[in-house]
């Protein structure tokens, strides 16, 4: 299916914002100038701008060109979705924030799942012993555990949030698990977590998960900053 011209234009402007070519509070060109640049009619430009405003990228001004928003402060859930659709332009800062969010929510949906479906969580974790010793296998196992446990939580919002990150999550996980020491840390973690859950100590499991998510963020920063 051929992509609409307004979608192409909106994507191009978003890429310029993510890439820093358009800065916060910078005005865009006028509709007339944009129409000339993209060789389309002004209704097409207007449609693209309306989509960008809806998704939190720009703010319209009566009688003046729209200005670029600070998407960290003025964005919304659709902003997250469109950032993830532009994986080549995903800022490192965004990835770090995403991993910080993971610290906050992972232990919570695990706790909820354990209170309601502890045997099912155990059945998910026991398969860690069968993981192949390669990055792809670890990434697949880790994603499956996170998704399935979030699904066992009575709050469906956790799964919706997690699903929003699926494509980039798995790519980042493969990069993370390409380091053998990271695979060992994960295996040790899952082994300890399984033992704790079998013992029925939900509070200890929650603390263990929280600490591992913090460790994962630290290891990721070291990996992406040349070991610093």
The pTM (predicted TM-score) of the whole model is 0.74
22/66 Cα distance (integer angstroms): 12
Average pLDDT over residues 14-25: 91
Q: What is the DSSP string of 7-75?
A: HHHHHHHHHHHHTTSS-TTPBPPPHHHHHHHHTS-HHHHHHHHHHHHHTTSEEEETTEEEEE--HHHH-
- What pLDDT sits at residue 1? 47
- Report the range of poorest mean pLDDT among 101-110, 124-133, 164-173, 199-208: 164-173
95: nearest Cα among 228, 225, 227, 186? 225
Percent above pLDDT 90 for the chain: 63
165 and 94 in contact (C-beta within 8 Å)? no
Per residue in 133-156, pLDDT tens?
A: 999 999 999 999 999 999 999 999
- At residue 130, φ and ψ (nearest 5 deg) are -100, 5
Residue range 114-142: mean pLDDT, rounded: 93
Residue 89 in this model has a pLDDT that exceeds 90:
no
CA distance 207 to 47: 48
Q: From CA 142, how far away is CA 136, in angstroms rounded?
A: 10
- pLDDT bracket for residue 67 (50, 70, 90): very high
**What is the rounded average pLDDT of the residues 50-63?**
92
In this prediction, residue 109 carries a pLDDT of 95
For the chain, the average pLDDT equals: 89
Note the pLDDT of residue 226. Answer: 58
- Asked whether the predicted pLDDT for residue 111 surpasses 90, the reply is yes
> Which is nearest to 32 in space by CA: 17, 44, 16?
44
pLDDT of residue 198 exceeding 70, the answer is yes
Q: Over 80: is that where the pLDDT of 92 sits?
A: no
The answer to whether residue 69 scores a pLDDT higher than 90 is yes
> Quick one: fold of 5-80?
Arc Repressor Mutant, subunit A (1.10.10)
Domain ranges of the chain: 5-80, 91-224
Segment 65-92 shows an average pLDDT of: 80
Contacts of 59 (CB under 8 A, 6+ apart): 53, 66, 67, 69, 74
**Which of 58, 52, 30, 41 minimizes the C-alpha distance to 5?**
41
Fold of 91-224: 1.20.120
The reply to whether 91-224 shares the fold of 5-80 is: no
Q: How does pLDDT run across 178-192, given as a tens digit for each residue?
A: 999 999 999 999 999
pLDDT of residue 224: 77
Asked if the model's pLDDT at residue 195 lies above 50, the reply is: yes
């Amino acid at each position: 299916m051929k992509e609409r011209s307004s979608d192409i234009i909106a994507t191009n402007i978003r890429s310029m914002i993510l890439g820093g070519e358009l800065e916060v509070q910078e005005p865009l060109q006028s509709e007339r100038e944009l129409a000339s640049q993209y060789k389309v009619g002004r209704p097409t430009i207007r449609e693209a701008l309306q989509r960008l405003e809806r998704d939190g990228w720009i703010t319209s001004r009566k009688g003046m060109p729209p200005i670029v928003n600070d998407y960290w402060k003025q964005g919304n859930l659709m902003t997250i979705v469109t950032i993830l659709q532009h994986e080549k332009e995903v800022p490192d800062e965004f990835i770090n924030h995403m991993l910080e969010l993971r610290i906050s929510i992972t232990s919570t949906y695990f706790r909820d799942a354990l209170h309601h479906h502890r045997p099912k969580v155990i059945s998910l974790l026991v398969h860690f012993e069968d993981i192949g010793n390669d990055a792809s296998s670890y990434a697949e196992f880790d994603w499956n555990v996170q998704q399935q446990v979030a699904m066992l939580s009575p709050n469906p919002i956790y799964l919706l949030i997690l699903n929003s990150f699926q494509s980039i999550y798995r790519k980042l996980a493969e990069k993370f698990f390409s380091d053998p020491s990271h695979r060992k840390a994960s295996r040790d973690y899952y082994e300890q977590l399984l033992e704790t859950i079998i013992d029925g100590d939900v509070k200890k499991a929650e603390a263990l998960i929280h600490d591992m998510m913090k460790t994962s963020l630290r290891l990721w920063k070291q990996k992406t900053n040349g070991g610093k």
